[in-house]
Chain A
């Protein structure tokens, strides 16, 4: 087969994958957008239409004005951002410690830390509820932030350690020779080089906290602190599932975050390349 024809076939095959993948990914989103602009009377119409007969923004208005959704959005944002910050702090310090030192039991401790990722999510709910109850932290941002951080730190340590491992030790050395303490060397030299890795950790942590449902369900019982997943879930109740409101709320929740990520995407992908995925 001629090389050019081979390339054409190869390319069209790739475009086919693209197209199908795009369709698969887009279908639910298209349907959500379509449902969100339908008035209540049209959502069960048959045959189902993609573009409603009388498109309306009333679902968005209801969700934004008539429900506490903006507050839920704010709560989710506060929790996710704080968790991300906390995780970045703890995990980068720890990863640096693991990367630059050898000591007895290092691998054992690392294995235990990473082993915690294997604990099923639902296991800890009751014990955590009891702990937070004792600490009088029920129904607070802090409870969620602390727990989410604990959940995300292991993976972040692992990711960042791989990243730091790929940064040559000579850089540390020169900083230390210049009279910096370990911490300063870390702060001034290593961190700036690790921005892509840190962005990766930040985004993983942010999304994990943003989407978390069960712990928020159990630990939070007040509007003032409720996060988005539970907030949107409340549009389905005993008597009906308000698909139109859910769709509208979903879009409102998702679009700002996606926009932010598009902006940061360059950082993100390159962050994973260096060392994080090395064996």
Chain B
């Protein structure tokens, strides 16, 4: 019995330490701190790390209470200490400016599950007051009537500070439904120690990749799995060749004419990279996003990859030595095609219909998407600001060689089609990619299959909308 009592005691001690951790309340400092004290306090926080307690609440005790749904990496709970600190500072300044507003920040799981939860909640009237919404979901959400138009709060002048695609991608006619606060793009990453001169077009890409592929190093990596990242990295090739997924009315046209030709080229090219030229690993079809290449990058297993603009920051956080080997350039296009890239990113949108809460939510959104906020967050996180003024406000962006390249690429950046059907098209093309690369189907077959499903879905959608 002695051993058992001992274990019992250990368990109790353990449980006690856990629960006492969340029982302790967060102290709210009301006093103004001098600059020096502020600096010391920050240093201490940096060493200790944030202490969370039960829940993340900004401005506790405020009269107007709103609920904000977002993902942990976009809050002061981020594992990246710089991002966490930046958010902490934003929260503190917001608390001081608007003490009457209390915001409960709820953490949501990874993207697919988040989308499900948000849709279910909105469909049953349980939506949060404000939330982070991925840019390509916005059309589906405002189509269903869940989002509140922001026009009454957001001046047209301020809207002009944002890139045009940010405004167009979240608007329907004159009404704008979400604030696109951060963006990213896809580009070619290449290792300067293996490849002195990056390839300028698709044929050169294959040649270069073949030259550098060895037993330990794959020539070219790219996502081809059942995930949105696959589309983001694939669409530039389609758009560069002048193709498109849907027409102006939103009808699917990807399996017709020029578009079909372009897609067949892409699917075959992907398959060749893996199966014929063998410069890409077969597990590209298992990718769960652009980040899937990273482990191999750290192990030195890639010479080039098609990836997201934020990834150089992630790699630098893991190992500056590894990061120093990599440079970025435009994605190589098939002969005759123009440069293109997919711009993605997240937006803030308001769900609540209550006047007071809407206004409070807007104040929060405005605060965390201001020029200075965008500068601070993107410097820490490696994202791309959506305000033109942000790039001018801090010399960091114009001095950093990666950002220099990104800024140029932004000029030909293009967002995904803002139509609700895009969800389905994306899924079908992901499947088609997989079937061609690892399923042995021809590009034609795969595309026809995809197109058939989309046509059915489109018909159903039209019927419902007519009701």
Contact = CB atoms under 8 A, between A and B. Distances in A.
Direct touching of A and B (C-beta under 8 Å): yes
A133 B125 CA distance: 9
5 contacts: A71-B22, A77-B15, A224-B54, A226-B107, A238-B289
Given A46-B299, A64-B21, A237 B72 contact: yes
Contact of A221 (B49, B69, B73): B69
Interface of B: 4, 7-8, 10-11, 14-15, 18-19, 21-22, 48-56, 69, 71-73, 77, 79, 84, 104, 106-111, 113, 116-117, 120-121, 124-126, 128, 289, 291, 294-295, 298-300, 310, 314, 317-319
Contacts of A237: 71-73, 109-111
Given A221-B69, A221-B121, A240-B294, A62 B107 contact: no
A71 to B, nearest CB: 5
A157 B317 CA distance: 54
Contacts of B117: 217-218, 221
Contacts of B48: 65
Contacts of A240: 291, 294, 314
A260 interface: yes
B109 A217 contact: yes
Contacts of B107: 68, 223, 226, 234
Contact of B51 (A65, A230, A236): A65
Interface in A8-60: 40-41, 44-46
A233 B116 CA distance: 15
A78 to B, nearest CB: 11
Given A68-B53, A68-B56, A259-B10, 16 more contacts: A41-B318, A44-B294, A44-B298, A61-B49, A65-B21, A66-B49, A67-B52, A68-B107, A71-B54, A130-B124, A224-B54, A234-B107, A236-B110, A237-B109, A239-B289, A256-B15
B49 A65 contact: yes
Interface of A: 40-41, 44-46, 61-62, 64-68, 70-71, 73-74, 77, 129-130, 133, 138, 217-218, 221-224, 226, 230, 233-234, 236-240, 242, 245, 252, 255-256, 259-260, 262-263
A223 B55 contact: yes
Contacts of A233: 109-110
A256 B72 CA distance: 26
A75 to B, nearest CB: 10
